[in-house]
Amino acid sequence: MGERGRVVIPKDVRDRLGLKPNQRLLVEVKERRRDRA
């Protein structure tokens, strides 16, 4: 379960959301926070 903290967003999904690679960190933090809440 070492992958739990890592969120890998498929390229097509990233493109649809208009996210750049460096913005993925923000998404990871948001997802993690929602998980813990």
Q: Where are the domains of the chain?
A: 9-37
The answer, yes or no, to whether residue 10 has pLDDT greater than 60, is yes
Q: What angle do CA 22, 6, 27 make, to 5 degrees?
A: 45
Q: Which of 17 and 3 is assigned the larger pLDDT?
A: 17
Query: pLDDT confidence of 1, banded at 50, 70, 90?
Result: very low
**How far, CA to CA in Å, does 4 sit from each of 1, 8, 10, 31, 32?**
6, 10, 16, 11, 9
Q: Using a cut of 0.75, tell me whether the model's pTM lies above it.
A: no
